Amino acid sequence: MSAMPRRRFLAAATATLASSKALHRASAAPMPPVSELSGRAPLFVSTWPFGKPANERALLTIQSGGGALDAVEHGINLTEADPSNPSVGLAGIPNSEGVVQLDACIMSGPGHKAGAVAAVEGFRHPISIARRVMETTKHVFLVGEGAMEFARQHDFERGPKVSPGQREAWRKWKDAEARKARPKADKGHDTIAMVALMPDGNLYGGCSTSGRGYKLPGRVGDSPIIGSGLYVDNEVGAAGATGIGENVMRFCGSFLVVEFMRQGLHPQDACIEAIRRIARLDPQGFDLSINFVALDRKGRFGAAGTGSGFEYAVTSPDSSRVLQSPGLTSASTGPVGGNQK
Ligand code: GLY
């Protein structure tokens, strides 16, 4: 954790965490027309309703004198610390061995800088570790034991490798698997991806997840992969992804969204076009459970999902809202908190 005084951060975090719990159940405003999808910087766009308190925390960081990367980090820290979130942070669904392995990345438009970590166990804030990788090493991406040793050396906050509730659920899953009761190995999941535009026109982003539930140990999804779970191009815009990482990372999904914006598409149309392109190439067609959010340098934003019901949060000094995105099929995206099928 950086710049902002810790006491001020914790007070604000506690307040926004309370509203975060309510937002797991909040319903989104009706889908606005594309012409209304723009806002005033500092502007934050995040996946899912739980992105709203994260955005608000990020905006508060800016309004309290923090920098853009502080804002992205603090916003995502809030989601990572939410004990009721089963898909981001140490309250997330563990892997098939009962251990939560966290992935995260962060990007700064200025300098086109990036940092990422994957398969990190027992640390509360992978986004903060990713930022430290970006700011203090020659590298972009640390994984597994190397990332954890780095986090230990930098004294990052520790936590349990799995929460008691998730451990209990994992035991049941493991028992059912042993009895060949064919439990759903692919438990629902989702991710916070946040993209941000500052008043000076610079773009930033971050992404953090516990990844796919009951995944194989060492499995890494799209979220920490630059260009897949997140991409920021300071000349054009920024995009982030949520959903089944395997269906995003094979297509460099967030990079693709940004490239469509570079060709002149509105961010919402860029998200739709990226999903169409992926569905055209993939044998599964639209049955992919993937969603994108995007934001351009003009402050235009949008989102889209393969199924209906993907909601995203948009926060500026003027308003903070949860919006519906267009879905490319009528299939359900699943309950908030998971792209369950
Ligand atoms: N999108 C997060 C993951 O698949 O790990």
The pLDDT of residue 157 is 97
The pLDDT of residue 183 is 54
Grade residue 36 by pLDDT with cuts at 50, 70 and 90: confident
- 131-145 b/e with 16+ CB inside 10 Å = b? bbbbeeeeebbbbbe
The pLDDT of residue 33 is 86
- Of 14-18, 134-138, 207-211, 226-230, the range with the lowest mean pLDDT is 14-18
CA–CA gap between residue 135 and residue 129 (Å, rounded): 10
- Residues designated catalytic: 191
Token code pair at residue 107: 């990007």
The pLDDT of residue 248 is 96
User: How many Å lie between the centroid of ligand 1 and the Cα of residue 67?
Assistant: 28
User: How many Å lie between the centroid of ligand 1 and the Cα of residue 215?
Assistant: 10
CA–CA gap between residue 53 and residue 17 (Å, rounded): 7
Question: Is 20 a residue whose pLDDT tops 90?
Answer: no
CA angle 239-76-84, nearest 5°? 120
Pocket flag, ligand 1, residue 242 (CB < 6 Å): yes
Pocket flag, ligand 1, residue 272 (CB < 6 Å): no
All residues at 6 or more sequence positions from 155 whose CB lies less than 8 Å from its CB, including other chains? none
Percentage above 90 pLDDT, the chain: 79
Pocket flag, ligand 1, residue 224 (CB < 6 Å): no
CA–CA gap between residue 145 and residue 41 (Å, rounded): 39
Tens digit of pLDDT for each residue in 240-280? Answer: 999 999 999 999 999 999 999 999 999 999 999 999 999 99
DSSP character at residue 26: -
CA distances from 15 to 68, 128, 220, 304, 334 (A): 21, 21, 32, 30, 28
CA distances from 263 to 237, 250, 259 (A): 11, 22, 6
**Which among 87, 101, 212, 215 is the best mutation to test ligand 1's pocket, defined by most ligand atoms within 8 Å of the CB?**
212
pLDDT, the chain, mean: 89
The pLDDT of residue 10 is 41
User: How many Å lie between the centroid of ligand 1 and the Cα of residue 134?
Assistant: 21
Instruction: Specify the CATH architecture of the domain 38-324.
Output: 4-Layer Sandwich (3.60)
Tens digit of pLDDT for each residue in 70-93? Answer: 999 999 999 999 999 999 999 999
Taking CA atoms only, the protein residue closest to ligand 1 atom 4 is 245
Grade residue 14 by pLDDT with cuts at 50, 70 and 90: very low
HEC secondary structure over 292-320: EEEEECCCEEEEEECCECCEEEEECCCCE
User: E strands within 99-216?
Assistant: 102-108, 113-120, 141-143, 192-197, 203-209
Pocket flag, ligand 1, residue 223 (CB < 6 Å): yes
Token code pair at residue 141: 């991406």
Residues 138-157, mean pLDDT to the nearest whole number: 98
CA angle 261-104-236, nearest 5°? 15
User: How many Å lie between the centroid of ligand 1 and the Cα of residue 315?
Assistant: 24
The pLDDT of residue 122 is 98
Residues 212-224, mean pLDDT to the nearest whole number: 96
